[in-house]
Chain A
Amino acid sequence: MSIAIRDGVIMIAGHCPVEEAEMLLVALLENPGSGVDLSAATRLHMAVAQLLAAAKPPVVAAPRDAFLRDMLLPALFHLDQ
């Protein structure tokens, strides 16, 4: 399972396919204000990424994956919209 709640932090890990968007949405709705830990995420589906962009939860730990860290993260969390 790549989406989990641990100590009030939404942990997103590994490869998150489109099916996990719903799981993330539930997690975001049920834990308003909680941070996300992306350190173990390797691949996010656009459906998952656009939820993060819409909710903009605080990022507790950045992904180690280069594309996610250098390209996606700034794009998702920049207030450019």
Chain B
Amino acid sequence: MLPPFDMPPLWQGVLLPGVLLLSLLGLAPVTALAAPMGEDEARTLLFRTSFAANETQVQEYARLDRQHAVDRLLAGSQQAAASSPPELSGVDRRLIPGGMRQLSEDEKKALLQQSREQGIALRAWWIGEMLTTPSPFTDKMTLFWHNHFTSGIQKVKSPQLMYRQNVLLRRYALGNFGEMLHAVAHDPAMILYLDNVSNRKGKPNENFAREVMELFTLGEGHYGEQDIRDAARAFTGWGIDRENGGFRLYRVVHDDGLKTVLGKSGNLDGDDVLDILLSRPETAEFIVQKLWREFVSPEPDEREVHRLAQVFRSEHYELRPLMRALLTSDAFYAPQNRATLTKSPVDLIVGTLRQFNLAPAENRTLAFASQQMGQDVFNPPNVKGWPGGEVWINSATLLLRKQALERLLRSIHSDDRMSDPGMRMQQASVQGMSENRLDPQRWMEQFSRDVSQRNLQAAHLLLAATPITQIPADAPPAALLRSLLLDPVYQLK
């Protein structure tokens, strides 16, 4: 049969002790890392991995060296959500053949309505989890994998199955990529999303086979159409148990014939194909590039990507060592890479509310605001996911972003407005982000007592680069926060 999926080349095993030896002797790379990382690096680490951070957290991390800082971050990361999910019905009747047929029009309508409601509740739940989780890095990673192993509720239809996929992605978010890939291929939401339910012997559907190579592992250009055709046959019969919504192999429609994928032949099944994909060096490079664009900068550094991909492979696709290597790398902290990433709508909304310790008026309002700004969680636009980066920002979304921040700022001095029910409704609509008010005076108490020193610290905390708007050194708290939040740099991380 096939060899284990990621046998590292022999020489890596030789190199590793060499590095250890260097570190024992206290030589170069390790001594460089032992220095405290300082505020700038602490800020970069926390804002890019945890949505936001307050001054105390930044100061705590600033005293650690990179290695210990990242260890601390990883040590705190959970594999499950802290909050319990909303009430979700079992498997959607629409997924059962003929399941809708016995229903009356009214019953069908009620069912669709319920499913829509639960879909909204599910989105609100995740936003709420991101706002309150003690392990925001897990959510950042889960969102990353949601945008990698995309599935969308619009097609999958069942909020229950989308929730189960979220649980899966969360469990593996910082676990083993190979295991995650196998689990995702067996995941019912994915099987529905990429049409593997209709992938049968003699009538293959190539959707999953194509995307698993193009978008999940190798990247375009590293496989041929013949590989896709045969891989599709290997996944025939991977379907869903209509009773409990779990994975089920339908042997009668599984193709047992000889297949050849990327030069490996045999009576391959889906798991064999995934192992073949994991055995290719392109897979590690592809994943590292994507992580680079999420965490480091829009332009991956080829040599660094190569180095990190080697780490990833030699660590058997374990994500913790990879993320440790990425988050301790010089590139991650390089000044020229600061403020080069655009905040996603979720980054902006969740980050801002976490930053100011604001409880949301309604999580579903936030989910809706995020959707309006272009990121409908649980429902990426297509299998490629959200393109991200600069694409987040256009005239409509930028005005929505600024408007949301304006509303938040306006709530500072709006007692009379808030008592007007019409205004309250409006506040609670698209952009009404929070129920408790932003109190600039109190928020500024975390900084120095000296006004200009304090203002400088606040600017430093909230912005990843120097602001563009000029701000008087003695600006009072409300005016200062207004300037900083509406500065174009606030849209960056």
- A and B co-occur in one complex: no
